Amino acid sequence: MTGQNLFEIVKQHICSCSLDLQMDPNVEAILKMPMRELHVSIPVRMDDGTIRAFQGFRVQYNDALGPTKGGIRYHPGETIDTIRGLAALMTWKCALHELPLGGAKGGIVCNPKELSFSELERLSRSYIQMIYYIIGPDRDIPAPDVYTTPEIMAWMMDEYSKIAGKTSFGVITGKPVGLGGSEGRVDATARGGWFIIREAARDANLELAGATVAIQGFGKVGSFAALLGRDIFGARIIAVSDSTGGVCDPQGLDIGALILHKRKTGSVKGFPGAKEISNQEILELGVDILVPAALENVITDENAGRVKAAIVAEFANGPLTAEADEILHKRGILVLPDLLANGGGVIVSYFEMVQNSQMDHWDEEKIYRRLEKKMSDAYRSVRDLANRNNVPLRKAAYTIALERVVRAMRLRGWM
Nearest alpha carbon to residue 68 among 37, 91, 40 = 91
Q: Look up 105 and say whether it is catalytic.
A: yes
- Give one DSSP letter per residue of 294-307, joined into a string: S-S--B-TTTGGG-
Q: Dump strand ranges (E) for 204-314.
A: 212-216, 236-242, 245-248, 275-277, 289-292, 311-313
Q: Which residues pair with 75 in a beta bridge?
A: 109
Nearest alpha carbon to residue 67 among 105, 102, 31, 104 = 102
The burial class, CB within 10 Å (0-12 / 13-18 / 19+), for 160 is: buried
Please tell me the distance from the alpha carbon of residue 259 to that of residue 257, in angstroms, as a whole number. 5
Residues in CB range of 111: below 8 A, 6 or more apart:
74, 75, 76
Nearest alpha carbon to residue 373 among 206, 143, 152, 196 = 196
Contact in structure between 383 and 203 (CB atoms under 8 Å): yes
Nearest alpha carbon to residue 271 among 279, 280, 263, 261 = 261
Four-residue CA torsion sign, 365, 223, 257, 236: positive
Contact in structure between 282 and 246 (CB atoms under 8 Å): yes
Q: Which of 93, 105, 262, 395 is catalytic?
A: 105
Contact in structure between 21 and 403 (CB atoms under 8 Å): yes
Phi, psi of 277 (to 5 degrees): -135, 165
Residues belonging to the active site: 105
